């Protein structure tokens, strides 16, 4: 099984992104017969789709597992759906601030993953790692990436995609003290568990 694991570059006021820290750690683990590639994605509405497509072209994965950082909550969020909309006041790393812009005027309003997210969640919970199923990945760049990954799922038979939002990790530089966090080891373990459950 070939897995393309993606994480994002830092954005906003932080100089690290939990998603990339976790991707790097998963890549250091031995995952048996799983052929794993990791790629960093830009926090750019305009560039992220092309960067993902290029990575899929090079690695030809069976699974795209995409990770992103979510500042709210203290659980691993398995995202069910990507919406055909972009909206951000803060702007992306290119300074683009879309105001309720469709990703694709002719595209589906929403795309759903075909992966079994309920059983994946149970597998994570069995390891005592907090996890929820989320019905919105937001309208920022993570959702833009997920929409593209799910379009690829429809274009390429055999390819399936899942997006996972991770909370800040304990000790992450620059994160306010009142923010909830999880240990980096638990977040890494959650992603490994998902890969092993899919295999």
Task: Return residues touching ligand PCA (CB under 6 A).
Answer: 8, 11, 17, 19, 43, 68-70, 138, 140-142
Distance CA 3, CA 64 (A): 6
Least separation, in Å, of the C-beta of 194 and ligand PCA? 17
Nearer to ligand PCA (CB atom), residue 141 or residue 192: 141
Nearer to ligand PCA (CB atom), residue 35 or residue 50: 50
Tokens 């992104």 label which residue? 17
Distance CA 165, CA 66 (A): 9
Distance CA 2, CA 123 (A): 20
User: How far, CA to CA in Å, does 197 sit from each of 95, 110, 183?
Assistant: 38, 26, 21
Nearest residue to 168 via CA among 86, 93, 91, 77: 77
Distance CA 173, CA 127 (A): 27
Residue from 21, 39, 142, 148 carrying the catalytic annotation: 142
Residue from 21, 39, 153, 165 carrying the catalytic annotation: 165
Least separation, in Å, of the C-beta of 124 and ligand PCA? 19
Nearer to ligand PCA (CB atom), residue 21 or residue 34: 21
Distance between first and last Cα of the chain: 7
Known catalytic membership, residue 153: no
Distance CA 61, CA 128 (A): 29
Nearest residue to 65 via CA among 163, 133, 136, 147: 163
Residue from 39, 79, 148, 153 carrying the catalytic annotation: 79
Nearer to ligand PCA (CB atom), residue 140 or residue 169: 140
Nearer to ligand PCA (CB atom), residue 17 or residue 84: 17
Known catalytic membership, residue 142: yes
Catalytic (active-site) positions = 79, 142, 165
């Amino acid at each position: 099984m070939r897995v393309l694991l993606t994480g994002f570059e830092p954005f906003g006021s932080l100089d690290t992104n939990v998603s990339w820290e976790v991707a790097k750690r998963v890549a250091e683990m031995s995952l048996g017969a799983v052929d794993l590639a990791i790629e960093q994605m830009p926090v750019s509405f305009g560039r992220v789709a092309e960067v993902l497509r290029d990575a899929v072209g090079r690695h030809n994965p069976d699974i795209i597992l995409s990770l992103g950082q979510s500042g709210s909550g203290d659980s691993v969020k398995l995202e069910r759906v990507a919406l055909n909309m972009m909206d951000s006041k803060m702007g992306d790393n290119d300074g683009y601030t879309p105001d309720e812009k469709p990703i694709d005027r002719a595209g589906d309003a929403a795309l759903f993953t075909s992966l079994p997210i309920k059983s994946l969640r149970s597998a994570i919970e069995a390891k005592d790692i907090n996890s929820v199923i989320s019905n919105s990945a937001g309208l920022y760049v993570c959702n833009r990436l997920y929409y593209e990954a799910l379009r690829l799922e429809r274009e390429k038979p055999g390819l399936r995609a899942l997006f996972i939002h991770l909370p800040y990790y304990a000790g992450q530089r620059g994160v306010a003290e009142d923010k909830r966090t999880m240990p980096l080891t638990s977040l890494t373990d959650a992603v490994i568990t998902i890969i092993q459950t899919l295999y």
